[in-house]
Amino acid sequence: MIEAFYELSHTPFTRDIPTTELYLSVMMEEVLGRLEHAAKRQLFAVMTGDCGTGKTTIIRKLKDSLDPREFMLLYLADSKLTPRHFYKGLLEQLGCEAKFYRGDAKRQLHREIEMMKGIYHMQPVVVVDEAHLLDREMLEEVRFLLNFKMDSLSPMALILVGQNELMDKLKLKVYGAIRQRIDLQCKLPHLDRAQVGEYIKRHLTYAGANHEIFSDAAVDEVYRFANGAARLVNKLCTHCMLYGAQNGRRIIDDHMVKLVIDGEFL
């Protein structure tokens, strides 16, 4: 309905937009550059941000920016992740059946990584998403995982991704040993008003819009509601365009945005 009414060739505010078409703010570009550096230098990095600020977008961009002939990105996202399932998940992505016991699986992972690097000259980049939900046992395992060859070499690039409380947790005294190992810290801020406008315009351009759809006042209302969180911008803009298509409104103004917020988001 949206595509037909607004004469679009693509859906503008979905999660499956190609990474080449995604909007990145200056800060997001900077964070991406830092993570690329971490991947290439096999560093331990932590990226945090509030819900909907673009953490997954950055990881998608990172994956596509790394040469697949040189890097293999291994991705885990499990709120109940345990050390055993951590090694099992990584080994399965490497095409291996994990040993049952944690210590055996850990040694198995190290062997596979050494083979990957020695034979295929590829570097593993491990991304653990939802890391703010990891318990103490799992965070301690991260520290042990990075202990390799008497601390002279990290076996992989490791990137923890989570909400802002992840760094609050790592600042606790009990996690001092882990915190000292962090090479890079990145925090994603919310988009400001100008960036929200650029974000909406970029996504509509990708979709093939040949005219303005959201008025400036409408963008103001979207920004106020979403508070600069891209995920909420996507959701509200989609609802507004659906409302506009159903009611024959080719231009979405601030009054329409307020109607949608009051009717569908309370």
Domains parsed from the chain with CATH numbers: 2-10+191-264 (1.10.8.60), 26-188 (3.40.50.300)
What confidence score (pLDDT) does residue 266 get? 62
Of the two residues 145 and 91, the one the predictor is more confident about is 91
Predicted pLDDT at 244: 95
Q: Name the DSSP class of 252.
A: B
> Is the per-residue pLDDT at 79 higher than 80?
no
Rounded Cα distance, 36 and 53, in Å? 19
Q: What percent of the chain has pLDDT over 90?
A: 76
- Count CB atoms within 10 A of the CB of residue 116: 17
Say what angle helices 193-207 and 216-226 make with each other, to 10 degrees: 110
What is the average per-residue pLDDT within 59-74? 95
3-state SS assignment for residue 102: helix
Arithmetic mean of pLDDT over the chain: 92
Please give the pLDDT value at position 152: 56
Whether this model's pTM surpasses 0.75: yes
Q: Name the region of 189 (left: φ>0; alpha: ψ -120 to 50; beta: rest).
A: beta
Q: What is the pLDDT of residues 129-170, one digit of tens each?
A: 999 999 999 998 888 777 665 455 678 899 999 999 999 999
**pLDDT average, residue stretch 194-212:** 95
Per residue in 14-53, pLDDT tens?
988 998 999 999 999 999 999 999 999 999 999 999 999 9
For 158-167, 175-184, 220-229, 254-263, which range has the lowest pLDDT when averaged over its residues? 175-184
